[in-house]
Amino acid sequence: MAGSTFGTLFKITTWGESHGKALGVVIDGCPAGLPLCEEDIQTYLDRRKPGQTSIATPRKESDMVEILSGVFEGLTTGTPLSLMVRNTSQKSSDYSEIASCYRPGHADYCFDAKYGLRDYRGGGRSSGRETIGRVAAGAVAAKILSTIGITLRAYTKSIGPVSIDMSNFDPEAILTCATCMPDRTADQKAMDYLKECMRDKDSSGGVIECVIEGVPAGVGDPVFDKLDGDLAKAIMSIGAVKAVEIGDGTSVSQARGSQNNDPFVNVEGIVSKKTNHAGGILGGISDGSPIIVRAHVKPTPSIFSPQETVNARKENVEIAIKGRHDPVVVPRAVVVVESMAALAILDACMRNMTARLSYLTDFYKIE
Amino acid sequence: MAGSTFGTLFKITTWGESHGKALGVVIDGCPAGLPLCEEDIQTYLDRRKPGQTSIATPRKESDMVEILSGVFEGLTTGTPLSLMVRNTSQKSSDYSEIASCYRPGHADYCFDAKYGLRDYRGGGRSSGRETIGRVAAGAVAAKILSTIGITLRAYTKSIGPVSIDMSNFDPEAILTCATCMPDRTADQKAMDYLKECMRDKDSSGGVIECVIEGVPAGVGDPVFDKLDGDLAKAIMSIGAVKAVEIGDGTSVSQARGSQNNDPFVNVEGIVSKKTNHAGGILGGISDGSPIIVRAHVKPTPSIFSPQETVNARKENVEIAIKGRHDPVVVPRAVVVVESMAALAILDACMRNMTARLSYLTDFYKIE
Amino acid sequence: MAGSTFGTLFKITTWGESHGKALGVVIDGCPAGLPLCEEDIQTYLDRRKPGQTSIATPRKESDMVEILSGVFEGLTTGTPLSLMVRNTSQKSSDYSEIASCYRPGHADYCFDAKYGLRDYRGGGRSSGRETIGRVAAGAVAAKILSTIGITLRAYTKSIGPVSIDMSNFDPEAILTCATCMPDRTADQKAMDYLKECMRDKDSSGGVIECVIEGVPAGVGDPVFDKLDGDLAKAIMSIGAVKAVEIGDGTSVSQARGSQNNDPFVNVEGIVSKKTNHAGGILGGISDGSPIIVRAHVKPTPSIFSPQETVNARKENVEIAIKGRHDPVVVPRAVVVVESMAALAILDACMRNMTARLSYLTDFYKIE
Amino acid sequence: MAGSTFGTLFKITTWGESHGKALGVVIDGCPAGLPLCEEDIQTYLDRRKPGQTSIATPRKESDMVEILSGVFEGLTTGTPLSLMVRNTSQKSSDYSEIASCYRPGHADYCFDAKYGLRDYRGGGRSSGRETIGRVAAGAVAAKILSTIGITLRAYTKSIGPVSIDMSNFDPEAILTCATCMPDRTADQKAMDYLKECMRDKDSSGGVIECVIEGVPAGVGDPVFDKLDGDLAKAIMSIGAVKAVEIGDGTSVSQARGSQNNDPFVNVEGIVSKKTNHAGGILGGISDGSPIIVRAHVKPTPSIFSPQETVNARKENVEIAIKGRHDPVVVPRAVVVVESMAALAILDACMRNMTARLSYLTDFYKIE
């Protein structure tokens, strides 16, 4: 078990290395009857592609997805979906230095410690390209969720010291701004900051927020498989994420109960909450309010500045990482966060369908 | 599946409600040959018991554990350990108001929305007493980890605005101070703050930190079952936790790569890191440095102040929660965090034992 | 992982040894709203109790079940059901010989080889008493299945050379005859045969058949988690079972396609099969016909005749097993087969509820 | 969850339909350091290819496997192996009749009942081609097992009324005879019988036996995940298998304990069994003797004779299946049985590596 499977009922297994022949994902448990074509998935994959902007790696990646199984006459059949993206533009020669040297902030050393060898080309399995399978599967999950009234929106909340102003919120900007910020003013400031980082041969971290609307109350399980527990794992399993928050997140530790509790209130016959400090989850179960999750992403570990490290012979050496690398991974990770959230939410929605005996008796009605 | 199972190879399943007959846990996959007695487990359970101090609920809980299976002549046999704690002091009459009313910040409403009914006595399955099974299992996991050189230490890092000063670090204080802070000065200030909260009929949040030492490099899996992903789920699945951080955690989002990267260095022949911003995990795999995880815990939702809410008939009502409740859950949750971390780490250590073919050929040597 | 968990959505974990303090099972994923009391479970447990007849062990076992969690005001709450049976009549002294000696046909040697030690009292975890947890859980599963129109009936089909005559089929006899045969004539012959076995200090094997009616077409998954695959594991995992058959079973290997194929036919608007050689399962999925599964049970390995074996010091010795043991395990295993079949079928029925997108959109209707 | 994943530590997920673009498997948990190339896998796949003989379908299938990930410089890296076979020779036009009509003995009707639609081309996911992923993964598992001294040999034991004579056993014949029988005389008789079946527009069933040697005592878990339980599921999940036997199998039901028990005996310091009625497994755990498992395979359901059935409009119709189909699936299923057995055994061997505390302390030695 190398931990490449996620989910219980909507179960995905990803595979592939940065510079291998291809990367992909198998989705087992996709319900039959979903209209699905490659374009549905490509739209999501394109969001993780490097852009044309000055902050993105100039590497040209086409990353065209191919559906290899599980769709017939335009509909999913209930059998596994196999989605594949062929690697085309990888040049192994770019990464020869990594072969003998452990890059700070990367998994190189840990891979050698664990497996005794590693595919060092472009980070191998620990490359950002590993997320192709997550995003392809997330596209399918999000499409299913949309049919049951659930929508997800992830965006960049901050880059380095630059945060968005929620009063400027412009959803269009998420897909069009290079930073994926929903605030064009902040986007400009963040771009300036990133240029400064690049000038300094340095990189920046940031925060991604995802808001999930339409999840009815009752989704998620009360103990280990809490909805927030599943989201935490989903999001923390994305490379470079070092903290996950739900709702008010870290600020709850300084709050008082009278501030943090959300009063329930009847709004036109529906149980609602006056506030949403909880971020839509209480006791691990959705409460009907929007679900809010945030990921704190570390600065790109690959920087042009020289760094101290050791090589495979344990000798102290200096490394200056060449080649292409973004000064920030946040914008390209936005769709990854959205995808992982979609996968966690969909799986919980499906598991929830057997929570009551009446659900079974309604389903297996005896006429 | 109600999500009451955690772990793959060291697999635990907890059960029980606050006011049911008993609570417990079944551990499947405990290796044979571990010396184990009830005292080993009781020591851990006693740490989550309410103390004698002014901030803890006066409810007297004996919470004596009984080992029902899996131990023979003082050693584990490899078969499931069934650990049980009988409920003794619960009085259902205390909680009658909850039956018809949804307490803000609690799971009452979500349970009704999910299951159509709930055991309202003392919070039922969502009570803090649910953690008895986690802690009993955590005691066993921690004992196993100690035999392979891995130790865990969790403590209160802050309560409301009061944080510990690491230069005052006193490990003895964790077990003796009412706040479980390893700093007696901070403990006093925190106690003063909690008394203020109680005077205000209010409650406080706080932060728990857990440091795990001795995990060799190579533990954890690279994609979904990252060691930090597993820890995030383990910790976020504890009731009242709203954020999880690894290493520098949320502060990475404002850091630069040159600050956040930890240089590798050869220290007496061992690959080490000069700093530990990563909190001991890179790419989801342990790097040999101490693993650092933090949980942000929300203020106790049960407060004496009157609160707005709705009842089961969806009528807007006011509730003032009576009975016993602590102004902060942090001190009693310290051992829960330590237990969940132990479970996640042990499971990853066991899964790691098949990572290389040479591990198999060494194990199944053919003479 | 010691393999004590069965099922994905209706997930059970059993624990306990023959001579430990207790045995039991935790059921996670039982839907909320099922009326359940101890009597529901006791009825099943009583069927595996030794009877008063001459072929059953004279050991008096009360085996009273206690529901420790998961039921509130007579209904399941959706949280784990913990069911326990205290051991009362076990005397360790009876089994001292096994401590040093490997009984032929038993797991004693394998346990030592695997774990390095074993609870030798009464066979420990490999005792027939291990099935208490299976039957207790099976009782709950069968009760749920009955609410969706699915019924199970297991019975003894043969003991040694004595088979039932289906034209004599008398369902009442299953619960009243000592052999659990649904044919009183065969029961008498089988009893005579068993007395002969006992006279010879020997034991007998037999066949158990289980017929499951009311499973609609469409239950079960097409590849590894075929309904017959799940049933095969469920039944083969019962101690002493050495073969599992579905429908015509072993006889298909000598049949021709024209004989073995079941023609489909429209019967009053319902797709039916003219025959049922397939035993109700095609391609791993139920076809709407009764599901038929058979278990071949080996003779009780504990016999009074002296046998050759080795002891823990690997010395060749002779053993004559004293104490109480039945000349046949078949009658007491009938309810175990029925229980395991119920567990496998229920889990598949629950998994099936997310097979189509329309099931999700119907469930999560947006008004 | 559509049930396309098998195994816990050596976990495979297969995908693909008969007439889709490709079929394949992802293996997660393959230990790092195994020398692996496409030829290793192709050898196994070629064994399930239709031969040149008169009994095999004339369809030409190249079925060339491609390794897409998980191997670097000739060694497995510990990350997922993705293995793919492109479909090349499929012509959808051959199968148009199935679209509207339920073939007796096939899963057509069950698929429609479950999913509401199906990929009818060539049986879709329920085609024999589904086993490509199993065999590709089985080849890897078998290669790993060989490094720890475990070998598997499956062969045809009988076809219709023709059984092999063990005294003629010729292992070479398995790979060279069209029937995969290890007895050239029986092979000839079986071929004659199959020609007779073909003349009658009919088909035949048969029996496959697999013998696994070198499994040390102690592999397998005592309750649900018994080694024989896992093998039963592995084998019964192969399409067309209707019965699974371990060791003496069905004949135990007529045996007496004194015949069926295998006496233990010290052979040159090793605990052995004088006989092997148990087929190498006692109490679900390997006992060190060869493991023997048998599969009873039904006759090919596709026959040229006209058959009664219904169509999708539930009208009674007659069908005569055209196109290519073998009169027996047994020979091509031999390598499938061997592969599934390899997968079950390897997974159990890997799970066994954490059975004792001393295994952990040896592995994580603290110097």
d(CA B142, CA B349): 12
pLDDT at residue D293 greater than cutoff 70: yes
pLDDT at residue B60 greater than cutoff 90: no
Q: Do C271 and D310 touch (CB under 8 A)?
A: yes
Closest Cα partner for C319 from D222, D258, D282?
D258
* Chain mean position to CA C120: 23
Q: Please indicate if any CB of chain C lies within 8 Å of the CB of A222.
A: yes
Which residue in B has a C-alpha nearest to residue A354's C-alpha? B1
* Partner residue opposite A34 with nearest CB, options C32, C351, C357: C357
Q: How many CB atoms lie within 10 A of CB C305?
A: 15
Q: Please indicate if any CB of chain D lies within 8 Å of the CB of C320.
A: no
pLDDT at residue A155 greater than cutoff 60: yes
Contacts of B167 (CB under 8 A, 6+ apart): none
Q: Encoding tokens for residue D308?
A: 């009664």
Written as one string, the DSSP assignment of D65-78 is EEEEESEETTEE-S
pLDDT at residue A57 greater than cutoff 60: no
Mean predicted confidence (pLDDT) in D121-130: 92
pLDDT at residue D30 greater than cutoff 90: yes
Shortest distance between the Cα of A80 and any Cα of chain C, in A, equals 10
Q: Among the listed ranges A312-316, B216-220, C322-326, D16-20, which one has the minimum average pLDDT value?
A: C322-326
Chain A residues touching residue B137 (CB < 8 angstroms): none
**pLDDT given for residue A325 in this prediction:** 80
d(CA A295, CA A289): 19
Q: Do C116 and B32 touch (CB under 8 A)?
A: yes
Q: How many CB atoms lie within 10 A of CB D311?
A: 17
Shortest distance between the Cα of A182 and any Cα of chain B, in A, equals 18
**pLDDT given for residue D122 in this prediction:** 87
Confidence of residue B54 (pLDDT cuts 50, 70, 90): low
Q: Which residue has the tokens 């914008």?
A: A331
**pLDDT given for residue A93 in this prediction:** 59
Vertex C231, ends C194 and C335: CA angle to 5°?
40
Q: Encoding tokens for residue A61?
A: 């990646």
Closest Cα partner for C239 from C336, C320, C153, C121?
C336
**pLDDT given for residue A97 in this prediction:** 73
pLDDT at residue D132 greater than cutoff 90: yes
d(CA C207, CA D253): 6
pTM for the model: 0.97
d(CA C120, CA B361): 31
pLDDT at residue B32 greater than cutoff 70: yes
Q: Are A193 and A162 in contact (CB under 8 A)?
A: yes
Q: How many CB pairs under 8 A join A and C?
A: 88
* Partner residue opposite D31 with nearest CB, options B144, B359, B366: B359
Which residue in D has a C-alpha nearest to residue C204's C-alpha? D256
**pLDDT given for residue A60 in this prediction:** 56
Provide the terminal-to-terminal Cα distance of chain B, rounded to the nearest Å.
45
Q: Encoding tokens for residue D299?
A: 């006759």
pLDDT tens per residue, range C324-333:
788 999 999 9
**pLDDT given for residue D55 in this prediction:** 65
3-class state of residue B156 by DSSP? strand
Q: What residues of chain A, 254 to 283, have a C-beta less than 8 Å from chain B?
A: 254-266, 269, 271, 274, 278-279, 282-283
| Interaxial angle between packed helices A131-147 and A38-48, expressed in degrees from 0 to 180 and rounded to the nearest 10 | 130
Q: Which residue has the tokens 């079952």?
A: B225
Beta bridge partners of C15: C24
pLDDT at residue B122 greater than cutoff 60: yes
Question: Over chain B, what is the mean pLDDT?
Answer: 94
**pLDDT given for residue C53 in this prediction:** 58
Phi, psi of D13 (to 5 degrees): -130, 120
Question: Over chain A, what is the mean pLDDT?
Answer: 94
d(CA B21, CA C69): 7
Chain B residues touching residue D149 (CB < 8 angstroms): 364, 366
**pLDDT given for residue B324 in this prediction:** 74
Which residue in C has a C-alpha nearest to residue D196's C-alpha? C256
Burial A188-225 (b: 16+ CB within 10 A, else e): ebbbebbeebbeeebbbbbbbbbbbebbbbbbbbbbbb
pLDDT at residue A52 greater than cutoff 50: no
Contacts of A258 (CB under 8 A, 6+ apart): B200, B202, B203, B303, B305, B307
**pLDDT given for residue C55 in this prediction:** 65
Q: What residues of chain C, 1 to 20, have a C-beta less than 8 Å from chain D?
A: 1-6, 8, 14
Q: Which residue has the tokens 């409301």?
A: B160
Shortest distance between the Cα of A239 and any Cα of chain C, in A, equals 28
The rounded radius of gyration (Å) of the Cα atoms in chain D is: 22
d(CA B339, CA B199): 32
* Partner residue opposite A351 with nearest CB, options B1, B8, B301: B1
Q: Encoding tokens for residue A334?
A: 């936005």
Confidence of residue D153 (pLDDT cuts 50, 70, 90): very high
Domain holding A123: CATH number? 3.60.150.10
Q: Encoding tokens for residue A25?
A: 């994902």
**pLDDT given for residue D52 in this prediction:** 47
Helix, strand, coil share (%) of chain C residues, nearest 5: 35, 25, 40
pLDDT at residue D58 greater than cutoff 80: no
pLDDT at residue C129 greater than cutoff 90: yes
Q: D79 or A1: whose pLDDT is higher?
A: D79
* Partner residue opposite A360 with nearest CB, options C31, C76, C354: C31
What domain range includes position A166? 5-364
**pLDDT given for residue C323 in this prediction:** 77
Helix, strand, coil share (%) of chain A residues, nearest 5: 35, 25, 40
Written as one string, the DSSP assignment of D277-305 is TTTTEETTEE-SSPEEEEEEEPPPS--SS
Chain C neighbours, 3+ Cβ pairs < 8 A: A, B, D
Q: Please indicate if any CB of chain A lies within 8 Å of the CB of C356.
A: yes
d(CA A284, CA B110): 9
Q: Please indicate if any CB of chain D lies within 8 Å of the CB of B288.
A: no
Chain B neighbours, 3+ Cβ pairs < 8 A: A, C, D
Q: D123 or D360: whose pLDDT is higher?
A: D360
* Chain mean position to CA C271: 31
Chain D residues touching residue C8 (CB < 8 angstroms): 1
**pLDDT given for residue C52 in this prediction:** 47
**pLDDT given for residue C41 in this prediction:** 98
What percent of chain A has a predicted confidence (pLDDT) above 90? 88
Shortest distance between the Cα of C126 and any Cα of chain B, in A, equals 10
Q: What residues of chain C, 202 to 221, have a C-beta less than 8 Å from chain D?
A: 202-207, 216-221
* Partner residue opposite B1 with nearest CB, options C4, C29, C67: C29
* Partner residue opposite B232 with nearest CB, options A218, A232, A247: A232
What percent of chain B has a predicted confidence (pLDDT) above 90? 88
d(CA C146, CA D49): 46
Q: Please indicate if any CB of chain C lies within 8 Å of the CB of A356.
A: yes
**pLDDT given for residue B50 in this prediction:** 67
**pLDDT given for residue C99 in this prediction:** 86
Q: Do A79 and D119 touch (CB under 8 A)?
A: yes
pLDDT tens per residue, range B174-230:
999 999 999 999 999 999 999 999 999 999 999 999 999 999 999 999 999 999 999
Q: Please indicate if any CB of chain A lies within 8 Å of the CB of B170.
A: no
Confidence of residue C321 (pLDDT cuts 50, 70, 90): confident
Phi, psi of C54 (to 5 degrees): -70, -20
Helix, strand, coil share (%) of chain D residues, nearest 5: 35, 25, 40
Q: Do D299 and C223 touch (CB under 8 A)?
A: no
pLDDT tens per residue, range A1-12:
689 999 999 999
Q: What residues of chain A, 26 to 65, have a C-beta less than 8 Å from chain B?
A: none
* DSSP letter (8 states) at residue A278: T
Contacts of D76 (CB under 8 A, 6+ apart): B357, D30, D31, D32, D33, D34, D36, D70
Q: What residues of chain C, 119 to 148, have a C-beta less than 8 Å from chain B?
A: 119, 121, 124-125
pLDDT tens per residue, range D202-232:
999 999 999 999 999 999 999 999 999 999 9
E strand or H helix that includes residue C71? strand C71-72
pLDDT tens per residue, range C94-103:
566 778 899 9
Q: Do A82 and D15 touch (CB under 8 A)?
A: yes
Beta bridge partners of D158: D163, D207
Q: Do D253 and C206 touch (CB under 8 A)?
A: yes
Q: Please indicate if any CB of chain D lies within 8 Å of the CB of A24.
A: yes
Shortest distance between the Cα of D73 and any Cα of chain C, in A, equals 32
Domain count, chain A: 1
Q: Do D218 and C113 touch (CB under 8 A)?
A: yes
Residue D326's identity, in one-letter code, is: D
Q: Are D78 and D30 in contact (CB under 8 A)?
A: yes
Q: Please indicate if any CB of chain C lies within 8 Å of the CB of A76.
A: yes
Residue C19's identity, in one-letter code, is: H
Shortest distance between the Cα of A79 and any Cα of chain B, in A, equals 22
Mean predicted confidence (pLDDT) in A250-271: 96
Which residue in A has a C-alpha nearest to residue D68's C-alpha? A21
Chain D residues touching residue B350 (CB < 8 angstroms): 354, 360
Q: How many CB pairs under 8 A join A and B?
A: 413
Chain C residues touching residue D262 (CB < 8 angstroms): 104-105
Contacts of C265 (CB under 8 A, 6+ apart): C271, C272, C273, C274, D308, D309, D310, D316
d(CA A13, CA A29): 11
pLDDT tens per residue, range C21-30:
999 999 999 9
Region at A233 (left for phi over 0; alpha for psi -120 to 50; beta for the rest): alpha
**pLDDT given for residue A250 in this prediction:** 98
Q: Do D15 and A26 touch (CB under 8 A)?
A: yes
Q: Are A19 and A121 in contact (CB under 8 A)?
A: yes
Which of B75, B79, B85 to mutate to probe the C interface, most C CBs <10 Å? B79
Q: Are A71 and A81 in contact (CB under 8 A)?
A: yes
Q: How many CB atoms lie within 10 A of CB D68?
A: 24
pLDDT at residue C54 greater than cutoff 70: no
- Count how many residues are written for chain B: 367
Q: How many CB atoms lie within 10 A of CB B297?
A: 28
d(CA A234, CA A8): 13
Q: Which residue has the tokens 């401590």?
A: C99
Mean predicted confidence (pLDDT) in A242-252: 98
